Amino acid sequence: MKLASFAAGCFWGVEEAFLSSGLGVKTVCGYAGGQLSDPTYKQVCTGNTGHAETVQIEYDPNTVKYKSLLTVFWRCHDPTTVNRQGPDIGTQYRSAIFYHDDEQRIEAEASLQEEQTKHAPRKIVTEIKPAGTFYPAEDYHQQYLRKHGGASCHF
């Protein structure tokens, strides 16, 4: 099994996009890319921790290609908006790919270039950074839309 990590706005909608993709992945909502150890949702929401709401995905590389995960990522948000997705505004809602190895980095960079041609003249602002420590979010955030229903700002 391998891990992939994506930030694309509110993690509820991002998680649902991956769960609904038919790829058979496991997901965990959490926080990545920040400076504070063990951040809480309340702390991340201030925008002062540097974290992005992130979905960490566990997948079997024998049946799921990383490129397929990247396709879901690009389709579930607007990568040309800085620190914003729909009504959610702040650095915690930025677009980011947190890679776990050089192969993922190379594929992510290539996919960004490919996506950029589709969004021209708008510039893609997605960060591509090494996956540092991932902190799972509080239990009530996990599979939130499946448990509670409601609309996602991603669709």
Q: What is the mean pLDDT of each run of 10 residues along the chain (155 residues)?
A: 97 94 97 97 96 98 98 97 93 98 98 96 97 93 79 56
Token pair belonging to 146: 């499946």
pLDDT of residue 153: 59
Query: Among the options 10, 29, 45, 153, which is catalytic?
Result: 10
pLDDT of residue 148: 83
Range of 62's domain?
2-148
Q: For residue 101, tell me if it sits in a domain.
A: yes
Residue 22, domain CATH: 3.30.1060.10
**Whole-number Å distance between alpha carbons of 38 and 134:** 9
Q: For residue 153, tell me if it sits in a domain.
A: no
Q: For residue 155, tell me if it sits in a domain.
A: no
pLDDT of residue 149: 75
Q: What is the DSSP string of 26-92?
A: EEEEEEES-SSSS--HHHHHTT-S--EEEEEEEE-TTTS-HHHHHHHHHHTS-TTSTTEETTEESGG
Query: Is the four-CA dihedral 108, 109, 115, 116 of positive or negative sign?
Result: positive
Q: For residue 154, tell me if it sits in a domain.
A: no
pLDDT of residue 151: 61
Token pair belonging to 84: 């914003």
pLDDT of residue 95: 98
Q: How confident is the model over 132-146, as pLDDT tens digits?
A: 999 999 987 888 787
Q: For residue 77, tell me if it sits in a domain.
A: yes
Reply yes or no on whether 10 is catalytic.
yes
Split into its structural domains, the chain has a count of 1
pLDDT of residue 34: 97
Q: For residue 45, tell me if it sits in a domain.
A: yes
Residue with tokens 């021209």: 120
